[in-house]
Structure 1
Amino acid sequence: MKIVWLSLGIIIISFLILEGSLRLFFGLGKRPLYIADDEIGYLLAPNQKVSRLGKLTIINQYSMRTEMIEPSPLNDTMRLFFIGDSIVNGAWWTDQNETISALVQKDIEKKLSQTIEVLNASANSWGPRNQLAYLKRFGTFDSPVILLVINTDDLFATKPTPLRVGKDINYPDQQPILAVEEILEKVFSRNPNIPGMDKIMGERGDRVGFNLEAIEKMKAIATENESQFMMVLTPLKREMNPEPRDYEKVARKRLQDWVDTNHVEFIDFLPIFAKQENIDTLYRDHIHLSPLGEQLVSEHISELIINSTNQ
């Protein structure tokens, strides 16, 4: 009987050590949470501070990956408003101080010797229609510059939906009871067949046209608020091996035509990335950028903003 109790005690102590280690050293058991929204689709829940694998994520009162802000900038502060998807958000694997918005802020402050505040309104898999809904809800925060950051896939994004939140393991709406539970969930869970998602993902009609219309409406909001609207497009890694697919070329051409017609300051990173010696070093996967890729993007964005605002 003593052996049974001893074994049970060892198991319990081992489990507690494992649970504590996962929380203390890896930050598991506390993850960034999402909230569902019928218009925007979903947002990162406001007022979060999470550290995972040593990477800090701060979400402010407006669901931005930015420290707490005032509705309007201070008199001596130049405010820039970035809106986008996981590229500009950085996700959990990018530290708060290493996101594209943070890198741009530091770079411009250094070059202009001025206080800069860069807002980062973004979430994983947001497309132009999610971003438009966010702008309609929250406004421009008196920012003289609004920069939309999208990737090629976003041109084909479906309409906003809250259906994933709390059902897809990548969009949790509550914390796990145990850190161990989070590991088991990642290893063994499979995303369920969410009712209604097939219809959303199979959206009919001209998706590229729908998203270009959303981008045009975002520009209109910027113009109404006396803000300069700019855009950045990052490519998928396979678009440089050897080139974009035919349907992507068509979508890119439509975007470029719209940019030219509307005289929008725009950076397409496809030719910029293609000139690099080792494209693999710019990516952490097929779509998300590595620290080197984020640094390259931030440098070009800083140059774009400085040149445009000095005109």
Structure 2
Amino acid sequence: MKLKPFAILLLGLGLSFAVLELGLRLIFGFGNPPLLQADSKTGYRFQPNQKLFRFGKSIEINQYSQRNPPISAIKPPNTRRILMIGDSVLNGGVQTDQAHTITERFRGLLGGSIEVLNASTGSWGIENRIGYLREFGSFQSDVIIFQIGTSDLIQRTSLGTLIGVDPSFPNQRPWSAISELWSRYILRRFVRQALIMPAYAEARSPQDKAAWFARNSQSLKNEVRSLRTAPETKNVPIIVLYTPYRDEVLPTPQLPLYKAEFFALLNQMKLPVVDVHQAWSSIPVEQKSQYFIDEIHLSETGNQAVADLLFQQLCIQAKSTWCNP
């Protein structure tokens, strides 16, 4: 029996959609994004225990929402443990393979029996990072490193109100790879909808920026004081890794907003800082132009450069005891 033209058309469309769906899943990882969950202390964080392939990159989230393989809450014997806390710059996102995150590159330089924990989620502000520490503790780490960028100094604390609402903050798998491609990428690009609410954005007005800088500074100051008095962390070194915007180092270095005030606060708190902005301001434009994939986020080459800087300043120059194997 011959198929009617309409039936042939439907069959062809069905096969085309099936091939497209399969290709998007297997080649790009659409339909399987990293999932988030709302959380009372961190605002939101990655759902535990995820392992996936996305845009050619591997991503693994452990039971504590860290971008790491599973770990023990109790540090294993004869192991050094470094806890790094940050946002999408530290996390690396789907554009960074698990092996090329800042934390993994740093771990590779340190050698020996060591764990470098990556507690981070995109758009986390300073208070979100602090919330993670208060929820999970320090994991008996030998050192705590806060990755803080220019944008974080004036960023509002991110809330969990968009989890499961905005396609960029999914809490469950999309029903198909095609639907995710459409809603998360194509629709946003061409319709130009402002889906990100102010709770996830930097402060805008000068008064708002000043208010949030003061609030974030005080929150960090209070948390450092708390860490230095708590039995588990009172002897644990606390370090800041300061990361800049792209246009603050390229092509001509610029002084980031509130950097001077922030560094004065760090000096007052006696917190060592690894200043990526200063280090990258003096290197050739051709070299540092390879370090960014957009205005804020780093390439895998940039991640390696940050790891190299951490190792050079903390382990070679400062000879930090926790660096020793």
Say whether the fold is shared (TM-score over 0.5): yes
Match in the other structure for 2:222? 217
- Partner SS, residue 7 of structure 1: helix
Equivalent-residue separation in structure 2 for 1:198 and 1:233 (angstroms): 20
Give the match for residue 207 of structure 1. 212
Q: Which amino acid aligns with 2:186?
A: V
With 61-70 and 166-175 compared, the bigger mean Cα shift is at: 166-175
Q: Distance in 1 between matches of 2:298 and 2:167?
A: 22
Q: Distance in 2 between matches of 1:100 and 1:300?
A: 11
Query: Superposition pairs for residues 50-199 of structure 1, below 5 Å?
Result: 50-109=52-111, 114-185=112-183, 186-189=185-188, 191=193, 197=199
CA distance in 1 between counterparts of 2:294 and 2:194 reads: 24
Partner of 2:248: 239
Cα distance in 2, alignment partners of residues 196 and 208 from structure 1: 16
Q: Which residue of 1 aligns with 2:237?
A: 228
Q: Which one-letter code corresponds to 1:74 in the other structure?
A: P
Question: How far apart in 2 are the matches of 1:15 and 1:276?
Answer: 49
Partner residue in 2 for 1:267 = 274
Preserved contact between residue 247 and residue 254 of structure 2 (Cα < 8 Å) = yes
Question: What is the SS of the residue equivalent to 1:92?
Answer: helix
TM alignment of 1:248-267, pairs within 5 A: 248-249=256-257, 251-267=258-274
Kindly, what percent of the aligned residue pairs are identical? 30
Count of residues in Structure 1 that have an aligned counterpart in Structure 2: 304
Aligned residues: CA RMSD: 2.2
Superposed displacement of residue 168, structure 1: 2.2
CA contact (8 A) 1:167 1:194 kept: no
**Structure 2 counterpart of 1:265, one-letter code:** P
CA contact (8 A) 1:222 1:228 kept: no
CA distance in 1 between partners of 2:141 and 2:226 (Å):
12
Whole-angstrom CA distance in 1 between matches of 2:200 and 2:80 = 43
Tell me whether 1:295 sits opposite 2:304 in the alignment.
Answer: yes
Distance 1:259 1:195, change over 3 A: closer
Asked whether the 8 Å contact 2:38–2:160 carries over to 1, the reply is: yes
Q: Is this contact kept in 2: 1:132–1:217, CA < 8 A?
A: no
In the superposition, the TM-score normalised over structure 2's length comes to 0.87
8 Å CA contact retained: 1:166, 1:173: yes
Shift of the alpha carbon at 1:194? 7.3
Q: Distance in 2 between matches of 1:127 and 1:45?
A: 18
Which one of the candidate residues 8, 26, 29 is aligned to 1:24? 26
Matching residue's letter, 1:266: V
Partner of 2:40: 38
1:84-142 CA deviation, whole Å, 9 max, x = no partner?
A: 01111000111111100000011101xxxx21101110011111110011111110000
The answer for unaligned runs of 5 or more in structure 1 is none
Write the distance in 2 (CA, Å) between the matches of 1:61 and 1:292. 28
Distance 1:199 1:148 in 2: 20
Q: Is the 8 A contact 1:159 1:200 kept in 2?
A: no
CA contact (8 A) 1:168 1:191 kept: no
Where does residue 6 of structure 1 map in the other structure?
Answer: 8
Q: Which runs of 5 or more structure 2 residues have no equivalent in the other structure?
A: none
Tell me the secondary structure at the aligned position of residue 18 of structure 2: helix
- What is the TM-score with the length of structure 1 in the denominator? 0.91
Which string of whole-angstrom CA distances, capped at 9 and with x for unpartnered residues, describes residues 54-83 of structure 1?
A: 211111111111111111211111000000
1:56 aligns to what SS in structure 2? strand
User: Aligned-pair distance for 1:198?
Assistant: 9.4
1:282 partnered with 2:274: no
Q: Which amino acid aligns with 1:115?
A: S
Provide the C-alpha distance between the structure 1 equivalents of 2:277 and 2:200, rounded to a whole number of angstroms.
Answer: 31
Q: Which range moved further: 200-209 or 71-80?
A: 200-209
